[in-house]
Structure 1
Amino acid sequence: MEQHKYSISKWCTVSEEVVKRFDQVVFEGEKGDFVAFAKAYYKTNEIDYPKFFKMDALSKLAFIGSECLLMDEEFDKPTSDIALLFSNASSSLDTDLKHCESIIDKDSFYPSPAVFVYTLANICLAEVSIKHKLQSENAFFVTPSFDGDLMYTQVKYILETHRAKQVLCAWVEYLEGKYKFFGYMVGSYRQGELEHTRENIKEIYRR
C-alpha cells in the first residue's frame, strides 16, 4: 500500500516576547510583560477581533501564534478545511488559580464569570475557530511535554481520513508568566517543503 506523504508548510514560535516565523524574527515586544507584548502584536498586525482583550493569557498566546500561521490563508466563508490540534502540560491551570483567588477574595461576592469561562484549556480552540470561521475537527491534549509522536499520528489520521485538508498543530503552554507557543501547518506534500516526519517535527521544535 502506497504511503501518503505530507509536508510542513510553515512553523512559528512565540516566547520571551518574540514571534518567529520560519525561524526569522517577525515581531519583538516589551521584555517581561506578556500583556503589553500581546496587545502590541494585535495592534501592529491590525487584527480585528475585539474579544481578544477579554481573553485569558493562554488564549491570547494561542491566538497570536495561530494568527502568525494563518495570516496568508483565505477565510471568506466558514470552512472545515483546517483542523486544529493543540496541547500543553498545565491545561488551564494559570486561569484556574486566578479563578480560585476570585472565589476567596472577601471583597468579591461572586467569582468572576469572565475568568471562569477560561477554566477549560480548549476554549482557545474556540477563539481561533471563531476568528477564522473554522468548522473543523479539533482536539486539545494535555501531556507532560511536547509529544511530537502523538501529533504526528493524529495529523496522519485526520488527513488520511479526509477530515481536513490541512492541520494546525500547536504546543501552547502558559503558567504564571512563563510561556511558549510552537505551531506548524501540515498539508499535502509540496516539493521544496519540509516533509512531515516525526524527526522533522522534533527538529524544528528544538530550534
Structure 2
Amino acid sequence: MNNYITSYCTIVKHVVYKNEVPVFENRDADLPAFLLSAYQYFGLNYPKFYKMDNLSKLGWLASEILLKGSYIKDYEPEDVGLVLSNANSSLDSDQKYIKSVSDIPSPALFVYTLPNIMIGEICIRNNFKGEDAFFIFEKFDAGFIELYVNNLLNNNTLSACICGWVDVFESDYKAVLFLVEKEERDNAISFSKKNLGGIFDNLVIDKI
C-alpha cells in the first residue's frame, strides 16, 4: 500500500525550509532569539510558546510550518498521530534543571525534562488524539520511521502522521518533520526510506 509525503519542513543553521524552499532566516541570532524571530515572522499567536523549552519550541514551530496549507483539518482528531525521534532526548532542559536545583528548583524547567512533552505541545495545539511515540537514536533512522509509520497507516490505526527528527543540545539543533498521508496530494512524493533520508541529508545547506 502506497503512502505519501505531502509536506516537509526543515529548520537548521538558522534557516527554515518548507518543501526544500527557504522561507525564513536569521543567522545573527542565538537559538532562543532565532526561534522567537521565526515565531514572530510567521505571525503565530500561541502564548504557551513563550513558556516552552527550546526543544518544544523547535518542534512546535516546525509542525506549524509543516501543516500550513495542508488538509490536516479534514481528519478526525483520533486519525492523526506523531512519531518523533532524536539523539539527545531532553538533555538540554535536563542540564538546565539540574543547575537550577543548586539554588531553587524550577518547576517550569522540570516540566520539560521528558522529550515527549514536545509531542504533547503539538497535540494540544492541533487537538490530535491519535497514537504517538518518541524514540531515541544516535542518528536519524529513516528505515525505522518508514516501517513504523507504514504499519500505523496500513493497519488503519492512523490516516495521517507527522514524523521525523527534532533535536536540541545547547547551540546544536535540527528539526526535520514530514507529513505522511494515505491520500496522494499535489506535489506529493513516495513515503520511503530513500526519500526520508534524502530530504534529511540534502537540506543541510548553508545558503539561501
Describe the SS at the equivalent of 1:131.
Answer: helix
Tell me by how many angstroms 1:30 deviates.
4.2
Query: Of the two, which has the highest radius of gyration?
Result: 1
Give the corresponding residue for 2:206: none
Q: Does residue 79 of the first structure (1) align with residue 111 of the second (2)? A: no
Which moved further from structure 2: 128-137 or 192-201?
A: 192-201
The normalised TM-score by structure 2 is: 0.91
Is the aligned partner of 1:68 residue 2:59? no
Given that 2:13 and 2:27 are in contact with CA atoms closer than 8 Å, whether structure 1 keeps it comes out as no
**Identity of aligned pairs, percent?**
35
Specify which of 106, 116, 119 is matched with residue 122 of structure 1.
116
Residue of structure 1 in register with 2:4 after alignment = 7
Kept in 1, the 8 Å contact 2:9–2:66? The answer is: yes
* Higher alpha-carbon deviation: 60-69 or 43-52: 43-52
Deviates more, 1:183-192 or 1:58-67: 183-192
Answering whether residue 201 of structure 2 is matched by residue 202 of structure 1, we say: no
Partners of 2:190 and 2:129 in 1: CA distance = 27
Q: 1:100: Cα distance to partner?
A: 0.6
Q: Following the alignment from structure 1 to structure 2, what is the Cα–Cα distance between the partners of residues 31 and 131?
A: 29
> Structure 1 residues 149-158 or 68-77, which shifts more?
68-77
Q: Does 1:38 align with 2:30?
A: no
The more displaced of 33-42 and 81-90 is 33-42
Measured after TM superposition, the shift of residue 86 of structure 1 is 0.6
Q: In terms of mean alpha carbon deviation, does 37-46 or 178-187 score higher?
A: 37-46
Structure 1 stretches lacking a partner, 5+ long? none
The 1:77/1:43 distance shift into structure 2, 3 A limit, reads: farther
Tell me the TM-score normalised to structure 1 length: 0.91
| Uncovered stretches (5+) of structure 2, i.e. residues with no partner | 203-208
CA-CA distance at 1:91 after TM superposition: 0.1
Aligned mates of 2:2, 2:56 — CA distance in 1: 32
CA distance 1:185–1:15, change in 2 (3 Å): same
Given that residues 16 and 31 in structure 1 are in contact (C-alpha distance below 8 angstroms), is that contact kept between their aligned partners in structure 2?
A: no
User: Quick check: 1:75–1:133 contact (8 Å CA) kept in 2?
Assistant: no
- Work out the CA distance in 1 between the residues paired with 2:129 and 2:170: 32
Match of 2:140 among 135, 140, 146: 146
CA-based RMSD: 1.7
Question: Would you say how many aligned residue pairs link Structure 1 and Structure 2?
Answer: 200
- CA 1:163–1:35: 2 relative to 1, 3 Å: same
Structure 1: 4+ residue segments shifted above 3 A: 73-78
